[in-house]
Amino acid sequence: MLHYRKAILTDITSLVSLRIEFLKEVMHTDTPANDISAGLEQYFTAHLQQGDYINWLALDGDTIIGTGGICFYSIPPNFFNPSGDRAYILNVYTLPAYRRRGISKEIFSRLMSEAEQRNVRQVSLHATPDGAALYEQFGFKPKGNEMVWGKHI
């Protein structure tokens, strides 16, 4: 039986594992996760406790089969966003055996509700080709002006 709940501190090991599975699939790599596991654990611990990161989980019985997170942050206010409050949705992921059942859609809906409850007026994300159609159902539009800096580029 499928059910949904917010992640808690005892879920951190699972959050780390699912984030790594997601990254490996999206980045098409088998890079060992040793380099980021500790950082992910620290991030999830700190930000779940602070409340500026919320993660919704889908479970089949006691097994976590889907996940999605939302980070809340602020930028200086502007004319389109007078509060400066923003959110970033990430890591919407369902285990392959459970896909095409509306699980990611339900998780995404709950993430958007979190933003609405906080009166956040701007939410962004990066979409995989598989995820873009889902996000468009919620009114997201492609915005092609992103620029990236980093030593890996």
Predicted pLDDT at 152: 54
- Count of all residues that appear for the chain in the document: 153
Q: How far apart are CA 116 and CA 89, in angstroms?
A: 13
Q: How far apart are CA 147 and CA 130, in angstroms?
A: 22
Instruction: Please compute Rg for the chain using Cα positions.
Output: 16
Instruction: Name the CATH architecture for the domain at 2-137.
Output: 3-Layer(aba) Sandwich (3.40)
Chain mean position to CA 18:
11
Q: What is the domain partition of the chain in residue ranges?
A: 2-137
Predicted pLDDT at 135: 92
Q: Name residues of the chain where pLDDT drops below 50.
A: 153
pTM confidence score: 0.90
